[in-house]
Amino acid sequence: MLLHGPAGCGKTSLARLVASAAAANFVEVHAAQIVSPVLGQSERQLAALFAAARSATPCVLFLDGLEALAPCRGSDTSSEGTLDRLLSYLLTELDGALQWSGPPLVLLGATRDRSLLDPAILRPGRLDVHLHVGLPSALQ
């Protein structure tokens, strides 16, 4: 599931509540922390993250600021193509999560703007459920 909306609207709080309601472990990662300038390090960090989440099942893995890991392909200006490789690895992990037969592992992604994400991550079977989280309104 993808939560999208402006900063400060409660996407992270909502993800924590989902994990709590499901009596699941909650693993929160700011996606930008995974991206490394060292060749191959980003992929290793992402692999370790998914391995840790699988070992903590039932688990809600929350990737905040998903646009840092899954920008539209072709927007990577590095000579190594780090972001395009990282996106490919993330898509592979997402596809593998569908085959996971152990206790539940739920991936929640969050972004401020869906248009910043590569369409491949939004296709059916990946993050195909989108929930807009708007700013809270005043109670009357």
Token pair of 117, please? 């994400």
Instruction: Tell me the C-alpha distance between 117 and 8, whole Å.
Output: 20
* Mean pLDDT for the stretch of residues 14-24: 96
pLDDT of residue 62: 97
The yes-or-no verdict on residue 139 having pLDDT over 80 is: no
Which residue has better confidence, 116 or 79? 116
50: CB partners within 8 A, 6+ apart: 61, 93, 96, 97
DSSP secondary structure code for residue 112 in this structure: S
Which residue has better confidence, 97 or 4? 4
pLDDT of residue 140: 57
* Mean pLDDT for the stretch of residues 96-100: 69
* Mean pLDDT for the stretch of residues 86-108: 84
Q: What angle do CA 22, 90, 79 make, to 5 degrees?
A: 150
* Mean pLDDT for the stretch of residues 54-63: 94
Least confident of 35-39, 81-85, 118-122: 81-85
pLDDT of residue 113: 95
Instruction: Tell me the C-alpha distance between 65 and 51, whole Å.
Output: 20
SS3 28: strand
Asked if residue 56 lies in contact with residue 103, where contact means CB atoms within 8 angstroms, the answer is no
